Structure 1
Amino acid sequence: MTLYTVFGGKGFIGTEVVRQLRVSGVEVSVPEKEDKGIFERNLGTVIYCVGHGNCKKNPFKVLNANVFLLNSLLEKANFEKLIYISSTRVYMNQTCSAESSDLIISANDERRLFNLTKLTAEEMCLKSGLNTCIVRPSNVYGVALNSPLFLPAITRDAINHGVVNMYVTPSYKKDYVSVLDVAEMIVKISKKQKLNGEIYNIASGVNVSAEQIANVLQVETGCKVSWHSCDNNEHFPVVPISKIRDEFGFSSRNVLDDLKSMVNDFKKVL
């Protein structure tokens, strides 16, 4: 039986990857933290979903999660293939967001450590000479009750408090992709025999504004939306998905349609 080892398999993306893999009938291992046995057994196909993004409160955890464990696996572990989960945030404030685009780090980005560690991890995969590839999901959404991510957080506020505080402008735009789509594509990519250091964007290919999201929440929950002044200097170019669409026939769900379903799902459990 095909063996998979999913690091971060209890996190938001990892949980869905594990679920879809097990539905497909393969054997899946989810190592606990500090499991030293990972360097003593065959890990099969590794999917690296470990990550941390709170650069202000815990920069050491950002570095450890995004780079250090991965580095140990590349250097010491026995596996057939490895897929590293990076992020389309590396395209922030760029003019182009194709997989082959040159990338720069913004000096005024308070979370630049996140981008730096993701790019470092990507480069370690590419330079390792091993059978690896990189996926860059855009902003992943889904029903995650306790998630601090933007969409789950404002959906909870809309339902629980009747007020959504927006600390971005109405025109602020980003790409959103369903965790179901992300996991499905990771599983499909993992079936390739040779990964060849490929990089894949996993995104919807369309930027959605904060105002569009606020309008859906107002209609579905009757909440009030409060727009606060902000100094946000983030700009995200539209993420092209032609590579993954052409190779795998990928098409994504629509976040505005799914947001209506998310509200109903949240109401059932909150």
Structure 2
Amino acid sequence: MGKFTVFGGRGFIGSEFVKELNQQGHEVYVPERSDEEIYTKNLGTIIYSAGYGDCQKDPHNVLHANVILLSELLERAIFDKLVYISSTRVYMNQKSSDENEDLIICNDDSRRLFNLTKLTAEELCLKSGRNCLIIRPSNVYGLALNSTLFLPSIIKDAINLSQVDMYVNPSYSKDYVSVNDVVKSTLLLLAEDSIARVINIASGNNVTAMEIAKVLKAETNSKIVWHNVINSREIFPVTKIAMINEIIDYKFSNVLDDLKIMINQYRNKL
């Protein structure tokens, strides 16, 4: 069994890594924020899932969580391998979602700092000379009661309020991937002897807001209210998963099927 250090191990994605690694019998270390031992002890394999995304309320924490702590670890820490959890949001408004595609930053994106810090962090990993794996998961979903992300929020509204206010167009579409799939496929990638430096983890299919709304209405009998909102450009190409499919054999879940299960899970928890 191996030794793993999970940064962000109490968060949504990180806690799932901790749970799965413990179940597999690995030694798992989740550092506190002020723990200076991260620079003196052997950390084994680092899972870096300590990202932050609220660019409006706390831009400094976006930089610190996504880049600064990572940079310190790459420069000072003792570890065998590091996995950096990036995001397929870097493909927003791009022509392609290939891992080797040239990427641009959109001026009218209110969260462009998030994309900039993710890409900066990726480049630090690549230029560090350390053994790093960068994964770009698509929109991660799971049972996260306190999450403000899109899927958890609308599920809670459907159950608690019997109404879902949709502030996106019915045709708005993204790729969604289960947090369980992210964790298990990442650990399978780690087990391979030879892997690419940047790998997308996604279902490979975009799902529209209308498709999600139909499931919510059918399962909860809630009212779906579509609001006329003028958004900045936010179009996501279908995430390419050819690279991960070449490395591991893994079947990703369908978000619309899982949505029905999640609704029942939320009913039991709320």
Report if TM-score (shorter chain) is over 0.5.
yes
Match of 2:192 in 1: 192
User: What are the equivalent positions in structure 2 for 1:32-181 lying under 5 Å apart?
Assistant: 32-181=32-181
Separation in structure 2 between the aligned mates of residue 129 and residue 6 of structure 1, nearest angstrom: 21
Residue type of the partner of 1:159?
Answer: I
Q: SS where residue 214 of structure 1 aligns?
A: helix
The TM-score normalised by the length of structure 2 is 0.98
Aligned partners of 1:194 and 1:209: how far apart in 2?
A: 35
Cα pair 1:131 1:194 within 8 Å, conserved: no
Residue in structure 1 matched with residue 203 of structure 2 by the alignment: 204
- Secondary structure of the 1:236 match is coil
2:215 aligned partner: 216
Cα distance in 2 between the residues matched to 1:189 and 1:254: 21
Deviation at 1:35, TM superposition (A): 0.6
CA shift, 1:250, in A, is 2.3
CA-to-aligned-CA distance 1:90-148 (integer Å, 9 cap, x gap): 00000000111110000100000000000000000000011001000000001110101
Q: Is the 8 A contact 2:39 2:73 kept in 1?
A: yes
| Partner-residue secondary structure (3-state), 1:46 | strand
CA apart distance, 1:191: 2.3
Task: String of CA shifts for 1:171-201, please: whole Å, max 9, x gaps.
Answer: 0000000000000012112223565x61110
What one-letter code is carried by the residue in structure 1 that aligns with 2:215?
Answer: V
Map Cα deviations across residues 37-96 of structure 1 (whole Å, 9 max, x no partner): 100100000010001000011100100000000000000000000000000000000000
Q: Give the deviation of 1:24 after TM superposition.
A: 1.0
CA distance in 2, matches of 1:179, 1:169: 25
The AA in structure 2 aligned to 1:222 is N
Cα distance in 2 for residues equivalent to 1:35 and 1:193: 31
Q: Which residue in the other structure is 2:248 paired with?
A: 248
Q: Which amino acid aligns with 2:180?
A: L
Segment drifting more, 223-232 vs 58-67? 223-232
Distance in 2 (CA, whole Å) between partners of 1:163 and 1:245 is 39
What secondary structure sits across from 2:234 in the alignment? coil
Structure 2 CA distance, aligned partners of 1:262 and 1:194?
35
2:18 is matched with which residue? 18
Q: Partners of 1:182 and 1:156 in 2: how far apart?
A: 23
In structure 1, the partner of 2:6 is 6
Deviation at 1:32? 0.9
Deviating 4+ runs (over 3 angstroms): 192-195
How far, CA to CA, are the matches of 1:150 and 1:71 in structure 2? Answer: 30
Q: Is the 8 A contact 1:137 1:182 kept in 2?
A: yes
Output the CA distance in 2 between the equivalents of 1:77 and 1:31.
Answer: 13
The CA deviation at 1:15 is: 0.7
C-alpha displacement at 1:244, in angstroms? 0.7
For the 8 Å contact 2:189–2:247, the answer to whether it is kept is: no
Q: State the aligned residue count.
A: 269
- Aligned AA (2:199): Y
Deviations 1:3-50 (A, max 9, x none): 100000111111111111111111110111111110010000001000
What is the percent sequence identity of the aligned residues?
A: 57
Question: Is the contact between residue 245 and residue 251 of structure 1 (CA under 8 Å) also seen in structure 2?
Answer: no
Q: Matched residues in 2 for 1:77 and 1:134: separation?
A: 18
Secondary structure of the 1:68 match is: helix
Specify the code of the residue in structure 1 equivalent to 2:177.
V
Structure 1 Cα separation of the partners of residues 21 and 245 of structure 2: 21
Given the two structures, how large is their TM-score scaled by the length of structure 1? Answer: 0.98
